[in-house]
Amino acid sequence: MSEELAQLAKRIKLLADIPRVQAELRPDKVAMTFEGRSTTYKELNDRASQQANAFLREELKPQARVAMLAKNTDMFFELQFATVKSRVVLVPGDVVAFLTLETAATLAKIQIDEIAGFAAALRYALALMAARGERESVKKDHYALAAPARARFDRAADQLFFPNLWRRLSAVSVSDDAVADAKYAFLADLLKAAQAELDTAVPAIPCTAIYRPRAEARARRAFHFSVRKHCPDLFGKESSDVAA
């Protein structure tokens, strides 16, 4: 064994040591060549360290999952060494592609259910308003009066759906806290949209003047009760934010 190889064998104990030690002992040696592009050990180590620091700046915790979805590239090795330097886990791309599709479908269903909860709360509140605040008097015709506001809310929810789906999907690979924050952001957006439609629709709902104050108070109370029942996490986080 040559002296150079002996030094390498002595100093390399972990995967993360490979680019670091090689960069120290022979920085200008070519580590790899890909499509006519050569990368020295120093360049490989520097780029891996830069990527590792980027992971740390993003506050990725040890064992967090990261992946690279791309065609064959020498940048894969930079990412591989970056993950071991920063103690995160590199997930194979084919596994990620499968998990991404499965997770996206699951999250999409969750978001559809969340939207339905707000839509139901809005619909019932406006029907109750039309029924003069008398729950036992709510009928099909009263629900029909809520249809325009429900349609506007559905359009607002459609605008929110995919941006929030991608946000939640990205959060899955970061941390449980990131997932919770993404969920809260979506619920808060839905609440804002539903509340806006409630505020717009209530004055236009026909109701005898003498009953209107009571009907509106009961309608708003029913709306907030339904939303709290459907999304307790939203109000739990609001309370903790206020306390903080």
126 and 81 fall within a common domain: no
* Cβ 82 vs Cβ 45: under 8 Å: no
110 and 231 fall within a common domain: yes
Domain boundary among 69, 90, 111: 90
Q: What pLDDT does residue 170 have?
A: 77
178 and 225 fall within a common domain: yes
For strand 65-66 and strand 89-90, is the pairing parallel, antiparallel, or unpaired?
Answer: parallel
Domain that includes residue 164, residue range: 93-243
31 and 119 fall within a common domain: no
Determine the distance from the C-alpha atom of residue 115 to the mean position of all C-alpha atoms in its chain, rounded to a whole number.
16
Paired residues of 65 in beta bridges: 89
62 and 130 fall within a common domain: no
Rounded Cα gap, residues 135 and 236, in angstroms: 28
pLDDT tens for the chain, 244 residues: list them: 466 666 667 777 777 788 888 888 889 999 888 888 899 999 999 998 998 888 888 888 887 777 766 567 778 788 888 888 888 877 665 445 545 666 778 888 899 999 999 999 999 999 999 999 999 999 999 999 999 999 999 999 988 888 888 888 878 767 788 888 889 999 999 999 999 999 999 999 998 899 999 999 999 999 999 999 988 877 765 444 433 3
Phi, psi of 38 (to 5 degrees): -105, 145
The enclosing domain of 20 has a CATH number of: 3.40.50.980
Q: Tokens representing 155?
A: 């359009």
Q: Which among 82, 79, 103, 102 has a CA at the least distance from the CA of 92?
A: 79
Rounded Cα gap, residues 202 and 204, in angstroms: 5
DSSP-based three-state secondary structure for 151: helix
105 and 85 fall within a common domain: no
Within 10 angstroms of residue 28's Cβ, the number of other Cβ atoms is 9
DSSP-based three-state secondary structure for 73: coil
What total number of domains does the chain contain?
A: 2
Q: What pLDDT does residue 217 have?
A: 96
* Cβ 44 vs Cβ 75: under 8 Å: no
62 and 101 fall within a common domain: no
| Within-domain flag for 3 | no
159 and 239 fall within a common domain: yes
